[in-house]
A and B are shown apart, each in its own frame.
Chain A
Amino acid sequence: MTMSARHVPLSGPSARRLRLLGLIRKEFLQIRRDPSSIAIAFLLPLVLLILFGYGVSLDAKHVRVGLVAEKPGPETSDFLSAFEHSEYFQPILFTDQRAAREALARRQVSAIVRLRSDFARLALSGQSAPIQGIVDGVDANTARLVSGYMQGVWTQWLQRQGDQRAEESTQAVEMRQRIWFNPAVRSRDYLVPGLIAVIMTLIGALLTAMVVAREWDRGTLEALVATPVSVGEVLIGKLVPYYLLGMGGMALSMVMALYLFDVPLRGSLWVLLLTGTLFLLAALGMGLLISIVSQNQFVAGQVAIITTFLPAFILSGFIFDIGSMPPAVQAFTYLIAARYFVAILQTVFLAGNLWGVIVPNALALAAMAAVFLALAWRRMPRRLG
């Protein structure tokens, strides 16, 4: 025993490597003992991506719309047939307005289109027949999409009527739109890349939020401080195993996005992996900082719940447009690492390697990772007070 002790010096590069390897090995043993870390890295992305990839969609389809023809006839059914053949609507027929209004109040339909009894007479006699549309405004986003569809049905009907004069008054200016990067406007194509950022935020914080706090709780931090390892070595020892796990989870998410959800990848994979590394370091660094500052697992867990999911979900631009937020709230979003990664993911997946977007966001991620890790390093206890 004394022999080997003499052969292992307590300082110098080889000793440092040995200590580091020992710390990493210890962390891996702990991961094996409580496999919830492995579940976090692989089960979480699997479950969440499948659930969201299939579950979440902003494309209004089969909207139940009440059609009221107070005096059914060929003109009204010609107009209303457009709703029956559209995949956006699931029509329910009513003959009077009161029943339709009641259905709207009971949320059985989300919109009503009403053709009054004088519809055919006015439309045929060269006058203008009013069409009344009512949308349930509670879900404003859906309501706006539905009224857009209604307008489309109406203009198409006017065109079918071949009414020259009507054409000039309603279509004097006609707008053609080209939607770049996602011409079919599949919401899944932008939600899935964004979700990767949200999920990786959770994974990064969940993996590390407990690791130092756990040592506080169990009293093993004292033992660690008493050994010759330096603070930097402890942090690297904590970072490396979870970085490897996290990158595994990230790779899994990207494979699922590409092959399960058929999201096109127009940029290159190595850009994704490189910026993913920066993002993961920021997320892990934030988790470590939470863990060090909280000093016990209970508080660390609470802080992790509060600071990760909802901010990444709401403030990252994943679903809500950052540019439309008030300036003060926009300033707040700069603190959310997911914001930069969402911008990179949506661009690299849908638009390609646009360096004008990638470089500034990647630099911001690198800066956040550096700040979090530096803070973690500074706040890591060197002695017990």
Chain B
Amino acid sequence: MNIVLIGMNHKTAPLEIRERLPLSSRNNVHPLLEMIKIPQIKEAFYLSTCNRVEALASAVDAKAVVERLKEFIFPHGDLTSEEMARCLYVYFDHEAVRHLFRVASSIDSLVMGEPQILGQVKEAYRQAAELRTTGVILNRVVHHAFRVAKRVRTETEIASNAVSVSFAAVELAKKIFGALKGKTVLLIGAGEMSELAARHLIKYGVDRILIANRTYTRALEMARDFHAGVIEFDRLGEGLRDADIVISSTGAPGYVINAEMVAAALHRRKSRLLFLIDIAVPRDIDPAAGNIDNVYLYNIDNLQEIVDENLNNRRREAEKAEAIIEEEALKYREWFGTLKVVPTIVSLREKVEGIITGELGRSLSWMRNLSPEQRKNVEILASSILNKVLHDPIAALKEESQNGGALPYIAALRRLFRLDDG
């Protein structure tokens, strides 16, 4: 196929090396433009995220350009050749295609199944398309990668179920309350994780936030960020009455909320379900509160267990995804196999002969009036016209193939004459 992929990711290269690479341009020259300048490279695609750098190219001779590609990457990161040898991977043809499919499907990501990578691949492709560095081969590979990613997403559970503590909390809230619209969240204490969870909850429909903090001014500050209401710390009971979801993360040494407070609040809220999330260490909420009817209490370990379980599940689903990717990579190889001069000419001729036979068959009714000799002449006329029409394109194709540049013509021909349909 003469496709080559060279790159490094979070598995092969430590952060110190990775962070040196994504200098997207030196002297304001886009890496794609530098790649495409390498003489033998016909098409180029370049993806750079915080976890990976991938340079994909289609070349006249893929093996020959590997060293040149390394030289292209080399000055970007000031890598020593020893570091290069350790961190870089090089894939050719089938393996290169499969690798790109794995990347786009998020199988190769640090957090398997994370959704951002597909957007990053799309953005990288947009740049390549803008700079016109991709052509028949890579366009097809990248588009195919998008399709594979979609298939993996819908056919496996790789991207379902929370793999972060704050998302696990959101999923649990949905298990309890269904839609979160109209629900109220009470944040007790400030903390990055509780803020993150609150933001996720807002995204999923929670529309009222209450904040309680031992330092009242800090509570007011946070309230401004969230457009939230503030509750005084010694009146938490009232917050428990109004809120449906409570996220507690104070630095208090003892319990901030005890079981009696919860029981009393539940009585006042007429037994409406209450979801308590305790992400503080040491814990803020008395575990006994979890035994009360219609109260669901999760601490940080409970949430982490869910996350671990979900991560295991993703790893199992990854096997299914690998099978899909392999299948699709084979499909690509099959398509690539059709991109040859002789088979293309053969199927073009077949198509044309099919048309001639079909049209003659349709004219049978009036041709019956002709003598056998006249009929023969009509048939000869029809096929000689079509052969004349085909002669120049086929001759040009053979010419190009001798110069080694037939691929785009073959692809165009197959597309224009619909040779791949049926």
- A and B: bona fide binding partners: no
Give chain A's interface residues, CB within 8 Å of chain B: none
Give chain B's interface residues, CB within 8 Å of chain A: none
